[in-house]
């Protein structure tokens, strides 16, 4: 499927789709969206890029194996769950909130970081599975 039109389009679509996935991730707290869907969209963006340009190019674009996103995401989610224990002495997974308005994001709290962790895990899992299967001899 390495047509010129698709390849050219994919180079522009990848950043747009990634940006869109982050937008979906961040708006999740107030409107439909969230880490899970956002992660899936980001994964689709990379898969799309690999269809147009070949897996090798996508991998070199990523620089590291997407599998590393899984532990990173798990750790981020876990520590956002731990943060109330560390900072406030509250039990695991209590929501911690910054009381004030942050431009663009609205309110910021531990749940946002938890969702980011979910996002990273989903991207990592999806890409690992798809890349592994498409690389299999």
- Footprint on residues 45-74 left by other proteins (CB under 8 A): 47, 67, 70-71, 73-74
Site for other proteins (CB under 8 A): which residue of 6, 13, 20, 34? 34
Question: 76-85 long-range contacts, Cβ below 8 Å, gap at least 24?
Answer: 76/113, 76/114, 76/116, 76/117, 76/120, 77/113, 77/114, 77/117, 77/118, 77/121, 78/117, 79/113, 80/110, 80/111, 80/113, 80/114, 80/117, 81/110, 81/114, 83/110, 83/113, 84/110
- Footprint on residues 97-126 left by other proteins (CB under 8 A): 97, 107, 109, 111, 114-115, 117-118, 121-122, 124-126
Please give the residue ranges that form the binding site for other proteins (CB under 8 A). 24, 28-37, 40-41, 43-44, 47, 67, 70-71, 73-74, 77-78, 81, 85, 89-93, 95, 97, 107, 109, 111, 114-115, 117-118, 121-122, 124-126, 128-130, 132-136
């Amino acid at each position: 499927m390495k047509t010129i039109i698709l390849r050219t389009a994919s180079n522009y679509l990848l950043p747009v789709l990634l940006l869109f996935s982050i937008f979906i991730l961040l708006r999740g707290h107030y409107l439909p969206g969230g880490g899970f869907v956002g992660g899936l969209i980001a994964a689709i963006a990379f898969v799309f890029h690999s269809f147009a340009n070949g897996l090798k190019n996508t991998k070199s674009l990523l620089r590291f194996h997407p599998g590393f996103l899984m532990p990173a995401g798990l750790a981020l989610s876990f520590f956002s769950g731990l943060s109330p224990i560390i900072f406030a002495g509250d039990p695991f997974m209590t929501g911690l909130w910054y009381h004030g308005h942050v431009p663009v994001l609205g309110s910021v709290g531990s749940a946002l970081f938890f969702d980011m962790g979910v996002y990273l895990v989903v991207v990592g899992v999806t890409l690992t599975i798809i890349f592994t299967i498409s690389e299999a001899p």
